[in-house]
Amino acid sequence: MKPTLFVLAAGMGSRYGGLKQLDGLGPNGETIMDYSIYDAVRAGFGKVVFVIRHSFEQDFREKVVNKYEKVIPVEVVFQEIDYVPEGSSYNTERVKPWGTNHALLMGKDVINEPFAIINADDFYGKESYEVLAKFLMEKEGHRNEYCMVGYRVCNTLSESGSVSRGVCEVDADNNLTSVVERTAIERKNGKIQFTDENGNDVEIDENTPVSMNMWGFTPDYFDYSLDFFKRFLKEHGQELKSEFYIPTLVNELVCNKTASCKVLDTPAKWFGVTYAEDRPQFIEKINNLIEKSVYPNKLWK
């Protein structure tokens, strides 16, 4: 069975002010998501599931889903603040849903096969989908065997300012042992550095693996997510801005030896539009890849 691609798109409405500003960056108005779906299809993924908010469902179906339905089976699920386990409670003044692992949990009823999860607004590169698809195809029927695409930090920097990344530590077999969110990562005087919790600059090697929220899971991960989310709400449900992140749960499952998480190396360069100044650079990078025949000039005929 082919793996599924699960796309985190619930934040789109708030981030872009509605989908009307879904940014066309390719030569024919292609979005970052168009390149992601194109890469996933040719790598061997068999289905796409989008998690969105009800508030922009019609817009999303017209502008996004219709584009892909002739290419690959598509399903849509929803993330809303009140989608919590029965018996759980939370602060009713809270405005936003519960973060990336809450969004992931929304796929529980429609995904029964190994699956990958990505951000809708990150460009991950062809090679990353290839290594991810290969890993997941080998995990059909397995349990507790996960993976993360580990980008080399030098391939994830913005030329316009600092970035935040999940800096990973791995063992001799490339299994994840920890992932720690680090802020203010940038190149200074030719060296890559981040700012630690004490405000000190700490240098890291160019090839240090970092997480860009590109994970691969077997379906048992949904059960752990549900159990962990119930516990999370008991401890943090009354907080207005607490978030249930994927790395938090992965860290716990890895540390208590419930699961393993292989860090897959990729030579791909991550692109994103973190800053307004990144947009022209992104367009230039896409055009370079088209010139090298990595992508056709027009993705969808």
- Whether the per-residue pLDDT at 239 is higher than 80: the answer is yes
Distance CA 57, CA 272 (A): 24
| 298 falls within a domain | no
Strand partners, 158: 161
Whether 132 is covered by a domain: the verdict is yes
Most confident of 83-87, 226-230, 235-239: 226-230
Closest CA to 210 of 268, 287, 278, 295: 268
Number of domain units in the chain: 1
pLDDT band at 20 (very low <50, low <70, confident <90, very high): very low
To which H or E segment does residue 14 belong?
helix 12-16
Average pLDDT, the chain: 89
Residue 238 domain flag: yes
CA separation for the pair 263, 254 (Å, rounded) = 12
pLDDT band at 180 (very low <50, low <70, confident <90, very high): confident
Higher pLDDT, 295 or 239: 295
Q: Give dist(CA 203, CA 96) in Å, integer.
A: 35
For the chain, state the CA radius of gyration.
19
Cα–Cα distance, 147 to 130 (Å, whole number)? 13
Mean of pLDDT values over 179-195: 88
Q: Which residue has the higher pLDDT, 270 or 295?
A: 295
Q: Quick check: is 271 in a domain?
A: yes
Condensed to tens digits (0 to 9), the pLDDT of residues 51-70 reads 998 888 888 898 888 889 88
CATH of the domain at 153: 3.90.550.10
DSSP 218-230: -THHHHHHHHHHH
In percent, the amount of the chain with pLDDT more than 90 equals: 52
The whole-model pTM stands at 0.89
Residue that is written with structure tokens 């991550």 in the block: 270
Is residue 166 domain-resident?
yes
Domain-embedded: residue 174:
yes
What residues contact residue 289 under an 8 Å CB cut-off, 6+ apart? 295
Task: Say if 299 falls within a structural domain.
Answer: no
* E strand segments, the chain: 4-8, 47-52, 74-78, 115-119, 122-123, 145-152, 163-170, 176-188, 191-195, 201-203, 209-217, 260-266, 271-272
User: 73: domain range?
Assistant: 4-291
The arithmetic mean of pLDDT across residues 202-225, rounded, is: 94
Instruction: Give the per-residue pLDDT at 291.
Output: 96
Confidence of residue 18 (pLDDT cuts 50, 70, 90): low
Residue 19's pLDDT is: 56
| Dihedral angle of Cα 47, 53, 56, 61, to the nearest 10 degrees | 10
The two counts, helices (H) then strands (E), for the chain are: 9, 13
Query: Quick check: is 12 in a domain?
Result: yes
Using the predicted structure, report yes or no on whether residue 187 has a pLDDT greater than 80: yes
Question: Mind listing the pLDDT tens digit for each residue in 101-143?
Answer: 999 999 999 999 999 999 988 899 999 999 999 999 999 899 9
State the pairing for strand pair 4-8/47-52: parallel
Look at the chain and count its residues. Answer: 301
